[in-house]
Amino acid sequence: MTEGSVYRTCNCRDENRKPLGSACPKLKNYKHGQWGFRVELPADAAGQRRPRRRRGFDSATAAENQLEQVRGLLAIADEDDVELRRDIGDVIALAFANRERFPDIDEMRRLVRAGADVTTTR
């Protein structure tokens, strides 16, 4: 099952202009930086890994809620249903790429039960 993780980072840079990211000492201040999440989507049709990240959340709770949305979508398909997991992963990857909201879990579940092609629903 896809786990994913929530993290905090910022855009600060060191004296060499290299991004500090999660190593920024100012992150001890709760007002500094932003929250994000990372998740590994199922492999695409070519077998390539698909790690995805989204950040810009004001709180860990907001980032966790979005991560739970992705987990819920991926949980619709059984672990052994590789094709459906890949199709749902394709829809999620498209939402990441277009910076759109993720599909509704109940709507996706309804489409799967009806046997509809989930990749053409966006």
- pLDDT class for 2, splitting at 50, 70, 90? low
What is the mean pLDDT of the segment spanning 18-40? 90
Strand, coil or helix: 100: coil
- 4-13 average pLDDT score: 92
Closest to 9 measured CA to CA, from 30, 29, 35, 31: 35
The residue ranges of DSSP E strands in 70-112, in sequence order, are none
- The answer, yes or no, to whether residue 19 has pLDDT greater than 80, is yes
Pairwise CA distance, residues 67 & 41, whole Å: 12
pLDDT at 60 over 70: yes
Q: Give which of 83, 82, 1, 89 is closest to 41, Cα–Cα.
A: 89
- Scan for tokens 């910022």, then name that residue: 10
Interacting residues of 41 by C-beta distance below 8 A, sequence separation 6+: 2, 50, 51, 52, 74, 89, 92, 93
- Average pLDDT estimate for 74-94: 92
Taking the C-alpha atoms of residue 72 and residue 51, their distance in angstroms, rounded to an integer, is 17
pLDDT tier for residue 114 given thresholds of 50, 70 and 90: confident
Report d(CA 2, CA 31) in Å as an integer: 30
Three-state DSSP class for residue 34? strand
